[in-house]
Structure 1
Amino acid sequence: MTQKKSATRKKPTKKKAAKGKKSWLKAAWSIIWKLSLISIAFVLLYAIYLDQVIAKKFEGQKWHLPAQVFSRSMALYPGAAVSHPQLMSELKLLGYRKVANPRQVGEFSASSTRIELWRRPFLHPEGNQAEQRVMISFDDLGVSSVRRMSDKRELAVFHLEPVLLDRIIAGDGEDRLFVPTDEMPSLVVDSLLLVEDRSFYDHHGVNPLAILRAAFVNVTAGRTVQGGSTLTQQLAKNFFLSSERSLIRKAREAVMALIIDFRYSKDEILEAYLNEVYMGQDRARAVHGMGLASQFYFGRPVAELTVAQQAFLVAVIKGPSYYNPWRYPERAQERRDLVLRLLMENDRLTVGQYKAAVESPLGLRDSKKSVQQKLPAFFAVVKNELSERFGSTLLNESGIKVYTTLDPMAQDAAEKAVISTMKSLDERTKNVQVGMVVTDKYSGGIAAMVGDRQPSFDGFNRAVEIRRPIGSLIKPFVYATALAKPEQFNLASPLADKPITLQNGEGKTWSPQNVDKQFSGEVPLLEAFRDSMNVPTVNTGLAVGVDNVASTLKKAGWSDAISTYPSMLLGAVNGSPLMVAQVYQTLADEGRYRKLTSITAVLDSENNPLQVSRPQNAMAIDPATDYLVQYAMTQVVQKGTAKRLGATFPYVKLAGKTGTSNESRDSWFAGFDERNVAAIWVGQDDNSKTGLYGSSGAMAVYQAFLKQRPPLSLRLPPANGIVNGYFDRTTGAPMQPKCNNVINLPAHQASYKPAANCGEPLSWWQKLLGE
């Protein structure tokens, strides 16, 4: 009875257990499919989010492209003041290859008087310039003709592409030059696909077979030797993800790759990869993309690379640090040769091409020369001018292009001159500093600037920021004011050279002295100018009015206030090399004032020019008067205080003026040839004595500059209103050529009325006959 009851009780327990198990499975299944739905929904939402992130990146601005800063574009035309050696140096700087016969873009050949050039296409501020093959001929004055080789037509003007000086990068430290796929050499693309992703055009962003194959190879080798990521996955990682090694990151990478492949064409993906891929490190800057890598490793555009160089760009992707060609050349060459072998094995190269390529050297640029130009003094001026003319945020905009006035060859010569001269001056006076500005005489732009004895030092810019007495550099403006009154003064006019004492409004006296403490009684104006005599200069300045001299200087471009005391006539006026360069540019430019500038054009990201105001332009000094001043400045170089410079370049006509402040605290020089104007200061930062005169300090820098950059002789054509006159050496009176004791000098035509018969005024009939 009891057993039956027990058996009866057990049956419901089994039923209940089965029912409980079924209920648990049902509940588990319910949870699973609900969690699955939630997971799918989450994945879909996350995919939608990723899709939006990707779309924003791809369809907007993929990269913040650094602002590109270019040099001036060298203009060649008949009569251009450009010598054969100068153009050769420019082409070398631009990375052109010298060959026997130019066969492609980026090549040139040269004889002693001609250069045949196949110019690259480039973006000029005035529009795109197509590639062009020309013949440039030279004579003693510079360029004599530029002819297009296709039809032998003579061109009015021909531009070379500017030098890319620097790229002002954003805070992320990434640097790149965007190159569209259609401008990328096909061999670079072929190599990339062979090495990194052979099935690129067949998969959908992820290649499962490649992942499995890589996993098998890595497990077999016991370490990671092969990757299975596609180009699309690599792009997703570079664009959106970190280098973290985790399954979550890899999964996210795969999802993003699938989305990218679904949304965009293969060509779009490939172009993005070619411009995004990390290619190396240039100091603090990360080098991205093939375009910049080509410049970084080889110093020329990617379109001009050899087969071996193109293969290297693809080879280095695997490990830019590991295959650094300057540190590990053998390792880098071995990797390059592997890429070349793959190209040959896949019929992209013939056996002959392969052998020639593997036997070639890496062909790297000089690693001692930075890809970016270190121009702290000049770039400070550029940034300040950009801010003043376009606003302070312009440089933060992506893809702008700034075209400057800098002449790379002049800058190189200025830097070498400063370094070598400072080293030699240290033997006489320790730690003197320097500021130097060079302008382009024709364009009115700043061609070069050095603000420190170490030109690359980014600190106090003495070319712009110092204010020191300019000494005798003011004298051309004293004499310009006098010569503007031809009825009173000419180059032969006798000037008083006697002791003089002046009193200011406070009762203090001032007695100017000549450097040699001697007085000659009277001296011709040209001689006083040539030998930089102080007392005759003061007498002349007082005769024409100190205020008028100050006015001449202001009209020429002097930007600071001028105290009109008599001591101003001997340079008690504080200025900088840039301020001096401005007023001497006016002297060199036939008396025309043009505000010096460092910028010629700015293009936005779409290559549209931003509106800019033209520099101010006004006639400051009458051209005929300015011609007389220039003539006098050539005599300073030939026979005066700068005669050491004239002796160094005996067959070149140069104009110059030395300047020294009281107790030799400041050494100055300003001068020009047919091409450039230069203003140089040498002194101590603490304003202590240097023991240097203008001729022994600043002029030494200019002399070294011209040795680096051979000068072009001044042409100095007589201005309208100038005649070749004869003057009595004693009285300065206009005379006939046949008279004794006369000197031949240029003069204002309107006031040149020579006496008849060596002293007698012309009679009415002599005037009628034109005697």
Structure 2
Amino acid sequence: MAAIGGLSVVGYVLAVAATAPDLEGLKPADKGQSSVIFASDGSRLGYVQSDVVRTVVDWKDIPVDLRRATVAIEDERFYKHDGVDYNAIVRAGVRNLESGENLQGGSTITQQLVRALYIKDPKRTFARKIREAKLASELEQEHSKTWILHNYLNDVPYGTVGGRTAIGVEAAAITFFSKHARELDLADSALLAGLPQAPSQYNPFRNPTAALERRNEVLSQMAENGFVTRAEAAAASEQPLGLRRGTRYTQRREPYFFDFVQEQLIEKYGVGVFRRGGLKVYTTIEPELQDQARDAIAGQLPYPEDPSSAIVSIDPSTGYIRAMASSGTYRDQRFNLAAQGHRQPGSAFKTMVLTTAIRKGVDPDRTSYTSKPVSLDLGEGAPPWEPETYDGSYGGTMSITSATLRSDNTIYAQMIMDLGPKEVRKTAEMLGITTKLDAYPAEGLGGLRLGVSPLEMANAYATLASGGIRNEPKAIKRVVFPDGKSEDLGEPKRERVLSDGVAYEVTQILERNVTSGTGRAAIIGCPAAGKTGTTDNFNDAWFVGYTPKLSTSVWVGYPSALVEMHSVHGISVAGGTFPAAIWHDYMLVAKGDDCDSFPLPTEPAEFSPFFGKYASTGSSTSSGGYYYGGGTAAPEDGSEIDDGTDQDDGTGAPDPD
């Protein structure tokens, strides 16, 4: 009967093998690897989270003990057969036919590799085993034993911990021992070698007793096959499991920026490429600036009950995001305030109005408005717009420059009406604001329906710092794919949106705002330009400023936009207080040795006659071929400047900066 059974199995094997595809016609499964994201200095920020963790390692980084342990427990005749142990298959086949159960055991390492790379059928059947055997024989004809064992050790699953399956020896070593594969000793190697046959059953975190017994079984097999002495095996079997759950694949530096990069990768390449992994992503972020940003925030707002803060820094010449940091911890607050937080910018948005005026040819020093109570007709049955100054006092007639340094709401409201809200919106979009704007008058004072992010504000001001060239903000410089090919994403996407003369005129005024206006707390001893911003009831406070080489926005507020900052360290939080101080502390270090002046323009701004409905024009004069409306220039000594408080809510209420 045994002979008849054996002949039947042989016939069945030959029949199934005849219908199996050839190896050359199959494409190996893409196992992928864990994607890793790097900072600009090459240091690792972390691994992209997925259901599988895998890192391919070179043959030289796999310990000899681990290679031998695997052969001893999985396939002791590995170096003797040609990919298939036919005696084992026939014996298993007879048992299968006699019992009617699915085949268990009998696979060589080569067959297991074939199963991992080429066989998609999950059912454990004798027919599948035959197909594996045919492909395994072909694989052994094409590749060396070293190639086969190396690929096996990089592709076999070792178990699931924390919802992530460790594929390959490197991921397994990190997962179970928090060390690299090359650092495994004999006992470690024996434990890992015993896992692939039944990863769940032998999982040492879940079943330490079973794992220990399995490890010692592997050690015994190694001694039986002459890979180690019995004394070495006995000594290793006396060692504890030595488990240490690795966090390498789960720990991430700069988690807010990390999430931001992940979102960009998915948007660029799609979910499929992202999930398959194996990407090496090189970013623009500078760890030193990240540390300095957090230090600056903590230095000014050290207490748990203090409001939150976010900082974004952009290189004006490239659009590279150099810093994206927030206060608090990722565990407590996973919302990225720096990139996703859309808050009211207050007077920091007046820069859009100022830039609109100058690009429209309005001379800021020679064109005057009157600071006074105003009731502005919005038409179409809308109630009049009646913005006020912070303290209810008015400065009379003054230039646009002086009104900027005072952050006078009433003058800026009149400017918005003269220039047109749509023109202000156009300027904001030209500079880099991407949030949808509605082009209603109060937007120019910072009353945005959807708010704006620190990232957008830093980029908009970076356009001024670069002399009117807008760069697309970039977080990723280069992506390397699993096949070694790479894509350069760091090439700046530039567009000139303003003449350098217009940008220079705006910068000159914002420089004076730092030295003698509402931004005096941001003085760093080097040329810098910037603007403060605060919203009604002190819900949000900003300072956005730049040097020739770095544009930085600072936002301060509570995560809930409804919480007011009336008493933080005994004061109400305005843009000229904590935001400007944080900007100062950060930029003092972040600027490095850069203390250059803003470069003179190659194309000076041109000014034309301007007679707005609300502008005071005085007598017409001309100078240098340009027309200047009448008015008074802002004082150089800052005598007209207030105490650094101006308040906008976008609906007419005062704005303390």
TM-score of the two chains, using structure 2 as the length reference: 0.65
Structure 1 residue 561 displacement after superposition: 4.5
Amino acid of the residue matched to residue 532 of structure 1? S
Report whether the alignment pairs 1:70 with 2:40: no
DSSP-derived class of the 2:152 partner: helix
Report whether the alignment pairs 1:270 with 2:149: yes
Which residue does 1:163 correspond to in 2?
44
- Farther off after superposition, 507-516 or 480-489: 480-489
DSSP-derived class of the 2:35 partner: strand
Of 530, 539, 557, which residue of structure 2 is paired with 1:665? 539
Q: Matched residues in 2 for 1:439 and 1:282: separation?
A: 39
Structure 1 residue 398 displacement after superposition: 6.2
DSSP-derived class of the 1:509 partner: coil
DSSP-derived class of the 2:53 partner: strand
Which residue does 1:181 correspond to in 2?
59
Which residue does 1:606 correspond to in 2?
483
| CA 555–676 in structure 1, closer or farther in 2 if over 3 Å, else same | closer
Structure 1 residues 136-215: aligned runs within 5 Å: 160=42, 163=44, 165-167=46-48, 169=50, 173-181=51-59, 200-204=78-82
Q: Matched residues in 2 for 1:300 and 1:528: separation?
A: 62
Structure 1, unmatched stretches of 5+, are 1-27, 75-159, 211-226, 349-361, 725-729, 736-740, 744-771
Amino acid of the residue matched to residue 391 of structure 2? D
Report whether the alignment pairs 1:576 with 2:474: no
Which residue does 2:136 correspond to in 1?
260
Report whether the alignment pairs 1:471 with 2:438: no
Q: Matched residues in 2 for 1:652 and 1:364: separation?
A: 51
Which residue does 1:504 correspond to in 2?
378
Structure 1 residue 570 displacement after superposition: 1.3
Over the aligned positions, Cα root-mean-square deviation in angstroms equals 5.8
Q: Matched residues in 2 for 1:611 and 1:455: separation?
A: 30
Q: Matched residues in 1 for 2:634 and 2:130: separation?
A: 95
Which residue does 1:589 correspond to in 2?
466
Report whether the alignment pairs 1:619 with 2:503: no
Contact 2:402 2:635 (8 Å CA) reproduced: no
Report whether the alignment pairs 1:42 with 2:9: no
Which residue does 1:61 correspond to in 2?
28
Deviations 1:450-509 (A, max 9, x none): 68955357976555555543211112222333445788234x987643433322213633
Contact 1:421 1:704 (8 Å CA) reproduced: no
| CA 398–479 in structure 1, closer or farther in 2 if over 3 Å, else same | closer
Amino acid of the residue matched to residue 404 of structure 2? F
Contact 1:669 1:694 (8 Å CA) reproduced: no
Of 429, 433, 439, which residue of structure 2 is paired with 1:558? 433
| CA 256–61 in structure 1, closer or farther in 2 if over 3 Å, else same | closer
Of 302, 319, 322, which residue of structure 2 is paired with 1:444? 319
Deviations 1:581-602 (A, max 9, x none): 3312323333211222444445
| CA 382–242 in structure 1, closer or farther in 2 if over 3 Å, else same | closer
Q: Tell me how many residue pairs correspond in the alignment.
A: 565
Which residue does 2:555 correspond to in 1?
680
Of 373, 383, 393, which residue of structure 1 is paired with 2:263? 383
Report whether the alignment pairs 1:567 with 2:442: yes
Deviations 1:269-320 (A, max 9, x none): 1122220244565532122223445666898986xx56x6799567644469
Structure 1 residues 535-554: aligned runs within 5 Å: 535-541=410-416, 546-554=421-429
Contact 2:54 2:168 (8 Å CA) reproduced: yes
Structure 1 residues 342-381: aligned runs within 5 Å: 367=247, 370-372=250-252, 375=255, 379=259
Q: Matched residues in 2 for 1:314 and 1:369: separation?
A: 23
Q: Matched residues in 2 for 1:392 and 1:301: separation?
A: 29
DSSP-derived class of the 2:426 partner: helix
Structure 1 residue 572 displacement after superposition: 2.0
Structure 1 residue 535 displacement after superposition: 3.5
| CA 236–630 in structure 1, closer or farther in 2 if over 3 Å, else same | same
Which residue does 1:126 correspond to in 2?
none
Structure 1 residue 633 displacement after superposition: 3.9
Structure 1 residue 689 displacement after superposition: 3.8
Q: Which structure ranks higher in relative contact order (CA pairs < 8 Å, sequence separation ≥ 6)?
A: 2
Contact 1:514 1:534 (8 Å CA) reproduced: yes
DSSP-derived class of the 2:467 partner: coil
Which residue does 1:712 correspond to in 2?
592
Structure 2, unmatched stretches of 5+, are 89-104, 229-241, 567-571, 605-630, 640-657
| Greater Cα radius of gyration, structure 1 or 2 | 1
Q: Matched residues in 2 for 1:714 and 1:564: separation?
A: 38
Amino acid of the residue matched to residue 274 of structure 1? L
TM-score of the two chains, using structure 1 as the length reference: 0.57
Which residue does 1:101 correspond to in 2?
none
Higher strand share: 1
Matched-pair identity in %: 23
| CA 662–502 in structure 1, closer or farther in 2 if over 3 Å, else same | same
Q: Matched residues in 1 for 2:508 and 2:189: separation?
A: 57
Q: Matched residues in 1 for 2:176 and 2:399: separation?
A: 62
